[in-house]
Structure 1
């Protein structure tokens, strides 16, 4: 019965869950009809290794309207400002000490927003480089069909062996949690954002009460998308014009990335954690166990069909990241890794350490 339940779950996921596995949509380069002023805000804390090429890619956008880049230096100690360089389109703000109740990134963004005047705002992480056509393409999608917020899952670094095995799965699991087609459908309650690149109308941000509305959120992109979608359409897709240059060369780097917010995703709930473990077991482990340990009866063939659907669903993501299709066979092991990291995230929270990022510990809420 458990094998049959796993099969039914995969029938639903593959055919009825917003076609999450398609690894789509992706914006193609486009020229906007209008050219609203845009302020690009980049929060940065100790980003000396990446900030130079990031700022260079932003100030050199091929956008026909007026735009500027506002770099908010969040008390960096590694020479981030010096590495950013100087440009007539670049404004550098020295961040104030973080107030209690805010996450670090949102506190920095709030200061950039206060210094901005443009009707359209773009939020970019300090490890994302942008094709010169990117801003124009984002504005074009904001205009037609009209959206209040446009965000993209940028292409993540995928060169080391740990990245090749684990990073495409990170994107794939995100799509499974938040099918992009459902997030983009106004009638659906699903809302998702990808914080590496966000374009938002100032009026939409003011409508929800400003960035202060989500000031303590650690998963700020999805929190922002959820608030914005209550009053207007949003869009999320994959990006072929923006790339993360932050490397994750070791398994522990990816482990730390997951443990930072995994339990936050579960609302710090032990019940949700148990449910997540049970769900991951049903989705990823039951079918391989049936194949390996049930002989050649009906359980074997049902497990084979279930695992086949799972592997097929992963192929478009592997294709996007130019990885061999046989990596799909490693999905059960990858799922175990993510399951263990989620449990570790909960343990960290219960021990009082909570989320750790850039020498800051957040615990159960931003401090």
Structure 2
């Protein structure tokens, strides 16, 4: 009799906790919708007279999907003065052939290619950037990954926020162009889960991080944090290039310009490995923030509540409300606000993606070893990489 009472009590506590998690997720979905509407409906003005020269740094390693089209989009800017510096580590890198084509296509544009195998840290992309910045002429530096594609108004739009002299870093959201069902799942997660979280953070306290899709940084802000050497041993170098300037007193601002991220085809194993790598990186970089993600997994917790209550009307009602709000947030942010065509076409798989990502989130709590570019590394506190396992 006593055991039965204890068991019933334990079940009631579990159901209550699951219900609280569902409520927190619903609140998050509502806030995500509100934050997105507030952000994208801000009045936008373009001062065409404000166009300081910009140095664009492009780290290159191999050939991405649609590489030539992606890189060429940065050469077609409706902007009076800018340069592009491509940086490559290996003289045998196939990306050099693409860069040479770009240089031939745009002979009147200030384009340079820096080939150097100098290494300043564990993250070789950052070494590439450190080599590229030696050729940068201007005080405003723009860093963008090689798989990003932009429109002709990109530079004019992202530079506007620098009219405020306190702004040290500007970054952008992105929408993914995906091929294959594996990368479609990733694209759905970016548009309908990751970006709503970013917009919530931005609305609540402003952002203190950046994305590799676009990092526009004042040279003085970069120098204030110690240059690229300060982020050379971090896996999430883009995060640090926003976080460290914020710690140094500079404002980090999110621009409303949305760039395109061209995802390469990927196998399921590669996608899982990549997602677990980033999950572990977030966990060691922001441990409490990582734990707090539990309060946003309403798709999962409402399903568990329905099961725990034995399929009761209450359980199914909570699940229905939670899933409707989850889908509504995904639709409004991913489809309406970001205009993400992948999210629009495959909107219905959001619950499947959420279940998949919850499993990834759980896996992220275990271990600190990651595989990256064919090597093994260990993540330590703060998200730094140590190469002591590189040859294991």
Q: Which residue does the alignment assign to 2:251?
A: 233
1:148 aligns with 2:132: no
Match of 2:223 among 187, 206, 229: 206
Q: How many pairs are equivalent?
A: 355
Q: Which residue does the alignment assign to 1:301?
A: 317
Give the SS at the match of 1:39.
strand
Q: Which residue does the alignment assign to 2:68?
A: 52
Give the SS at the match of 2:159.
helix
Q: Which stretch shows the higher mean deviation, 251-260 or 20-29?
A: 20-29
Once residues 290 and 159 of structure 2 are traced to their aligned partners in structure 1, the CA distance between those partners, rounded to angstroms, is 42
Matches of residues 1-367 of structure 1 in structure 2 within 5 Å? 1-16=16-31, 19-20=34-35, 24-25=39-40, 30=46, 32-47=48-63, 49-64=65-80, 66-75=81-90, 77-85=92-100, 86=103, 87=107, 88-99=109-120, 101-143=121-163, 147-177=167-197, 179-180=198-199, 182-183=201-202, 188=205, 190-230=207-247, 231-237=249-255, 239-240=257-258, 242-248=259-265, 250-267=267-284, 275=291, 279=295, 283-291=298-306, 294-319=310-335, 320-323=339-342, 330-343=349-362, 349-350=367-368, 352=369, 354-357=370-373, 359-364=374-379, 365-367=385-387
Structure ID, larger Rg: 2
Is the Cα–Cα contact under 8 Å of residues 60 and 146 in structure 2 kept in the other structure?
yes
Once residues 163 and 260 of structure 2 are traced to their aligned partners in structure 1, the CA distance between those partners, rounded to angstroms, is 23
Residues 1:156 and 1:283: Cα distance change in structure 2 (over 3 Å): same
Once residues 237 and 18 of structure 2 are traced to their aligned partners in structure 1, the CA distance between those partners, rounded to angstroms, is 37
Q: How far is the alpha carbon of 1:50 from its aligned partner?
A: 4.2
Once residues 52 and 230 of structure 2 are traced to their aligned partners in structure 1, the CA distance between those partners, rounded to angstroms, is 25
What 5-or-longer segments of structure 2 have no aligned partner?
A: 1-15, 380-384, 388-392
Is the Cα–Cα contact under 8 Å of residues 54 and 142 in structure 2 kept in the other structure?
yes
Once residues 285 and 250 of structure 2 are traced to their aligned partners in structure 1, the CA distance between those partners, rounded to angstroms, is 29
Give the SS at the match of 1:244.
strand
Give the SS at the match of 1:36.
coil
Give the SS at the match of 1:336.
helix
Is the Cα–Cα contact under 8 Å of residues 193 and 224 in structure 1 kept in the other structure?
yes
CA deviation profile, 1:252-309 (whole Å, cap 9, x unmatched)? 443343133220110079x8699478556x5331212334663343233223222222
Alignment RMSD: 3.4
CA deviation profile, 1:296-328 (whole Å, cap 9, x unmatched)? 432332232222222221112441323577955
After TM superposition, the score normalised by the length of structure 2 is 0.78
Residues 1:7 and 1:277: Cα distance change in structure 2 (over 3 Å): closer
Q: How far is the alpha carbon of 1:332 from its aligned partner?
A: 3.7
What 5-or-longer segments of structure 1 have no aligned partner?
A: none
Q: How far is the alpha carbon of 1:48 from its aligned partner?
A: 6.0
